[in-house]
């Protein structure tokens, strides 16, 4: 679309772009328009344009928690890619498009501790805020001080502080807002570089031992239940290795559904439903997906 290209430049706009190129599951049909946006002012211009033309907007980060249907996504998909990081003593401000591992290494260089848990979470900092991503001893809730976002409904810039974000297990207020997160403020603690590095290495090793990182996935497919561990129930149903098309319940970690070869989104969705059904029949427990499904 000419107007979007005028705002962003032709190299930042693609048409009928396969979402399989932008998701860690490596599945998903085409986005009608896919745009890489690298500043807040351009973001607001694009939002204005879409509102005037009634074009629906979908926001993605690094696609590491997304299952996009084979039909793809109508309208405009925005990936916010600004990736600045600024550090002032123990206070850090970064753009939403910063990749977690890059921030983790930058914090390591600056002897700042508190983000080690996220170094191996393969998404953006904005995606991590949205999901209240967490692992081992940490979650975003513990380090975020504020978040700036563009409210898509009003096209205004807003700021929200930690106590208003309603962080809980894999939840934040952003699931109920129509927003593009573009800046995150965080606070860390000073520590010895060696301590931080040791922690990061240990977490990486643990991931390599326990997770099927050799296959495309979106991490844990299901959330933990209030009184049960989803992966344990799936394992106890004998579902490890169960396959539909190219989608399989990982033989290494029952909580992961992996793409073992040319799966499409339907294979994965069918397998999710099958696992939910079998677990319900045996344990009367409902497995809720952690993965965000875009149909
Ligand atoms: C191998 C593997 C291991 C994983 N391990 C973990 C783990 O240990 N802990 C964990 O919590 N997760 C884990 N995940 C899941 C995933 O990495 C996290 O949920 C991550 O935070 C998602 O970030 P993303 O940038 O990829 O977001 P996406 O997957 O692209 O999007 C996730 C959600 O965030 C929204 N979003 C993204 N960017 C923005 C933005 N700028 N503004 C507004 N909304 C936005 C999207 O609309 C979507 O609803 C893992 C995934 C994989 C593949």
**CATH number of the domain that residue 73 is part of:** 3.30.43.10
Per-residue CA distances from 215 to 51, 203, 212 (Å) = 39, 19, 6
Q: How confident is the model at residue 37 (pLDDT cuts 50, 70, 90)?
A: very high
Task: For a ligand 1 pocket test, name from 217, 219, 259 the mutation site with the most ligand atoms within 8 angstroms of its C-beta.
Answer: 219
Q: Is 255 in the pocket of ligand 1 (CB under 6 A)?
A: no
Torsional class of 261: left (φ above 0), alpha (ψ -120 to 50), beta (otherwise): left
Q: What's the 59 CA to ligand 1 centre distance in angstroms?
A: 12
Contact by Cβ (8 Å): 11, 34: no
Pairwise CA distance, residues 156 & 173, whole Å = 17
b/e map 75-97, b = 16+ CB within 10 Å: ebbbbbbbbeeebeeeebbbbbb
Domain count, the chain: 3
Q: Whose CA is nearest to atom 35 of ligand 1?
A: 127
Last residue of one domain, picked from the residues 208, 226, 252:
208
On whether the pTM is more than 0.95, the answer is: yes
Q: Does residue 55 sit in the same domain as residue 145?
A: no
Q: Which pLDDT value is given to residue 45?
A: 97
Q: Does residue 100 sit in the same domain as residue 204?
A: yes
Q: Is 219 in the pocket of ligand 1 (CB under 6 A)?
A: yes
Q: How confident is the model at residue 182 (pLDDT cuts 50, 70, 90)?
A: very high
Residue 106 structure tokens: 């930058």
Is residue 145's pLDDT more than 90? yes
Q: How confident is the model at residue 15 (pLDDT cuts 50, 70, 90)?
A: very high
Give percent of the chain above pLDDT 70: 100
Q: Does residue 161 sit in the same domain as residue 230?
A: no
Q: Does residue 133 sit in the same domain as residue 30?
A: no
pLDDT digits (tens, 9 = 90+) for 252-283: 999 999 999 999 999 999 999 999 999 999 99
Active site residue 290: yes
Q: Does residue 106 sit in the same domain as residue 172?
A: yes
Q: Does residue 157 sit in the same domain as residue 267?
A: no
Provide the mean pLDDT of the chain.
Answer: 97
Q: Which pLDDT value is given to residue 156?
A: 97
Q: Does residue 89 sit in the same domain as residue 203?
A: yes
Structural domain including 115 reads 85-208
- Which of 163, 155, 161, 113 minimizes the C-alpha distance to 138? 113
Q: Does residue 57 sit in the same domain as residue 102?
A: no
Q: Does residue 71 sit in the same domain as residue 129?
A: no
Per-residue CA distances from 254 to 103, 125, 216, 222, 240 (Å) = 30, 27, 15, 10, 6
Q: Which pLDDT value is given to residue 24?
A: 98
Q: Does residue 17 sit in the same domain as residue 61?
A: yes
Assign residue 151 the CATH number of its domain: 3.30.465.10
Q: Which pLDDT value is given to residue 166?
A: 98
Q: Which pLDDT value is given to residue 263?
A: 97
The catalytically annotated residue of 69, 220, 230, 250 is 220
Active site residue 224: no
Beta bridge mates, 78: 35, 59
Q: Is 249 in the pocket of ligand 1 (CB under 6 A)?
A: no
Give percent of the chain above pLDDT 90: 98
Q: The tokens 């799966």 sit on which residue?
A: 263
Contact by Cβ (8 Å): 78, 44: no
Beta bridge mates, 144: 186
Assign residue 222 the CATH number of its domain: 3.90.78.10
Is residue 137's pLDDT more than 90? no
Is residue 206's pLDDT more than 90? yes
Q: What does the pLDDT average to over 141-150?
A: 98
Q: What does the pLDDT average to over 116-138?
A: 97
Pairwise CA distance, residues 171 & 132, whole Å = 6
The catalytically annotated residue of 170, 172, 183, 250 is 170
Active site residue 139: no
| Minimum-distance ligand 1 atom for the alpha carbon of 218 | 53
- Which of 92, 187, 195, 160 minimizes the C-alpha distance to 103? 92
Q: Are strands 179-187 and 217-220 parallel, antiparallel or unpaired?
A: unpaired
Q: What does the pLDDT average to over 118-132?
A: 98
**Among positive and negative, which fits the CA dihedral 96, 48, 3, 56?**
positive
Of all helices (H) and strands (E), which one includes residue 18? strand 13-18
Q: Does residue 115 sit in the same domain as residue 139?
A: yes
Last residue of one domain, picked from the residues 208, 239, 258:
208
Last residue of one domain, picked from the residues 39, 63, 80:
80
Is residue 1's pLDDT more than 90? no
Q: Does residue 50 sit in the same domain as residue 110?
A: no
Q: Which pLDDT value is given to residue 273?
A: 98
């Amino acid at each position: 679309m000419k107007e979007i290209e005028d705002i962003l430049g032709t190299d930042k706009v693609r048409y009928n772009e396969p979402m399989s190129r932008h998701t860690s599951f490596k599945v998903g049909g085409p986005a009608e328009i896919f745009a890489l946006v690298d500043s807040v002012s351009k973001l607001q211009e694009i939002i204005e344009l879409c509102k005037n033309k009634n074009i629906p907007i979908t926001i993605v980060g690094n696609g590491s928690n997304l299952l996009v249907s084979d039909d793809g996504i109508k309208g405009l998909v925005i990936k916010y890619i600004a990736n600045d990081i600024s550090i002032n003593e123990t206070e850090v401000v970064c753009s939403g498009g910063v990749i977690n591992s890059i921030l983790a290494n930058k914090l390591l260089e600056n002897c700042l501790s508190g983000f080690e848990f996220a170094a191996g979470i393969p998404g953006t900092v904005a995606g991590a805020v949205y999901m209240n991503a967490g692992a081992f001893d940490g979650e975003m809730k513990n380090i975020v001080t504020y978040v700036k976002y563009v409210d898509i409904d009003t096209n205004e810039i807003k700021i929200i502080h930690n106590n208003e974000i309603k962080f809980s297990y894999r939840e934040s207020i952003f699931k109920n807002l129509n927003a593009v997160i573009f800046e995150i403020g965080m606070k860390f603690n000073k520590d010895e570089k060696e301590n931080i590095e040791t922690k990061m290495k240990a977490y990486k090793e643990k991931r390599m031992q326990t997770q099927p990182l050799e296959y495309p996935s979106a991490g844990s497919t299901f959330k933990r239940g209030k009184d049960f561990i989803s992966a344990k129930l799936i394992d106890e149903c004998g579902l490890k290795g169960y396959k539909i098309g190219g989608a399989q319940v990982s033989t290494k970690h029952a909580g992961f559904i992996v793409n073992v070869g040319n799966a499409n989104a339907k294979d994965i969705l069918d397998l999710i439903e099958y696992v939910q059904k079998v677990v319900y029949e045996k344990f009367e427990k409902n497995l809720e997906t952690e993965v965000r499904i875009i149909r």
